[in-house]
C-alpha cells in the first residue's frame, strides 16, 4: 500500500515527468569533430553524459525515433564544475560555451530523406531549423541571439550565463521556435550536445542528465 501511495503522489506532483519519454546516453550517439586534432572527452553513462573540453570543441549527436518527432517540450538536468569565461556567442571564432543542447527540426519530406545521414547533413539542410539552448556566454538569460554558423537556420537560446553550478531546465520548444523563427516547429529529428573551449584556451567540465521529451 505504501508503494502505491508513493507512486500516486509522484504522479500528482509531476505529471509531466510521468508522461514523458527519456532519451538515454548510450548506443546511437556519435561524435562529430570539427578538426582532426580537436575532440572533447564525452562519457556516455546511460542517464547522463559527462563532458570534458580542454581547449577543444566537438559534439555528440543522435537521431531521434519517429515516435519523438512530435515532441514539443523538453527537460533536463545539467551542471558545470569548470567554466569558460563569458563570450559573445554571436561572434564566430570567439564563442566558447560550457554546454550547448541542439534540437534539430525538419519538415516531413526532408526528415524522411535525411534518415541515416550524419549530423552535418542535418545542420546544413536549408529546410532545417535548429534551437540551441546554451549554458555560457555574456548575454541575458532568455535572450535569443543568432548563430554565427547556421545563419537563418539556427538560433541560440540563452539558458545560463558562463559560470559553474547545477540546474534543472524545462523548455517549451514550440513557443521558443515561434519566438526564434516566427512559426511553429516541424519534426524534431535529432539532438546534439557540445562543449567549446578552443578559442579561450580554457577548460569545461560538465554533465547533462535525465533528458526527457513530451
pLDDT reported for residue 19:
77
Q: What pTM, to 2 d.p., does this model score?
A: 0.89
If you average pLDDT over residues 12-35, what whole number do you get?
A: 79
If you average pLDDT over residues 85-107, what whole number do you get?
A: 96
C-alpha–C-alpha distance, residues 140 and 137, integer Å: 9
pLDDT reported for residue 2:
47
pLDDT reported for residue 71:
97
pLDDT reported for residue 14:
47
pLDDT reported for residue 116:
86
User: Cα 32 vs. chain centroid, distance in angstroms?
Assistant: 14
Res. 42: pLDDT tops 90: yes
More confident residue, 50 or 94: 50
Integer distance in angstroms from the first to the last C-alpha of the chain? Answer: 29
Cα 178 to Cα 9, 72, 117, 188, 209, distances in angstroms: 34, 12, 27, 14, 26
More confident residue, 114 or 45: 45
Percent of the chain at pLDDT exceeding 70: 91
pLDDT reported for residue 38:
80
Helix (H, G, I), strand (E, B) or coil at 116: coil
pLDDT reported for residue 18:
54
C-alpha–C-alpha distance, residues 92 and 105, integer Å: 23
Res. 9: pLDDT tops 50: no
pLDDT reported for residue 35:
78
Contact predicate 33/58, CB 8 Å: yes
Res. 12: pLDDT tops 70: no
pLDDT in tens, 141-187: 999 999 999 999 999 999 999 999 999 999 999 999 999 999 999 99
Query: For residue 4, what is its C-alpha cell?
Result: 502505491
Question: Mean pLDDT of all residues in the chain?
Answer: 91
Res. 3: pLDDT tops 90: no
Amino acid at each position: 500500500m505504501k508503494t502505491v501511495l508513493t507512486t500516486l503522489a509522484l504522479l500528482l506532483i509531476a505529471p509531466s515527468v510521468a508522461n514523458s519519454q527519456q532519451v538515454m546516453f548510450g548506443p546511437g550517439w556519435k561524435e562529430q569533430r570539427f578538426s582532426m586534432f580537436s575532440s572533447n572527452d564525452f562519457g556516455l553513462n546511460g542517464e547522463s553524459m559527462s563532458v570534458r573540453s580542454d581547449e577543444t570543441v566537438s559534439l555528440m549527436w543522435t537521431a531521434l525515433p519517429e515516435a519523438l518527432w512530435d515532441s514539443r517540450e523538453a527537460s533536463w538536468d545539467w551542471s558545470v564544475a569548470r567554466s569558460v569565461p563569458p563570450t559573445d556567442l554571436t561572434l564566430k571564432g570567439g564563442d566558447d560555451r560550457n554546454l550547448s543542447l541542439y534540437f534539430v527540426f525538419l519538415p516531413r519530406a526532408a526528415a524522411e530523406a535525411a534518415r541515416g545521414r550524419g549530423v552535418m547533413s542535418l545542420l546544413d539542410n536549408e529546410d532545417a531549423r535548429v534551437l540551441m539552448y546554451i549554458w555560457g556566454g555574456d548575454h541575458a538569460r532568455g535572450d535569443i541571439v543568432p548563430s554565427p554558423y547556421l545563419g537563418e537556420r539556427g538560433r541560440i537560446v540563452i539558458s545560463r550565463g558562463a559560470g559553474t553550478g547545477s540546474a534543472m531546465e524545462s523548455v517549451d520548444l514550440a513557443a521558443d521556435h515561434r519566438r526564434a523563427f516566427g512559426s511553429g516547429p516541424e519534426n524534431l529529428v535529432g539532438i546534439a550536445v557540445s562543449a567549446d573551449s578552443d578559442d579561450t584556451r580554457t577548460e569545461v567540465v560538465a554533465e547533462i542528465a535525465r533528458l526527457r521529451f513530451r
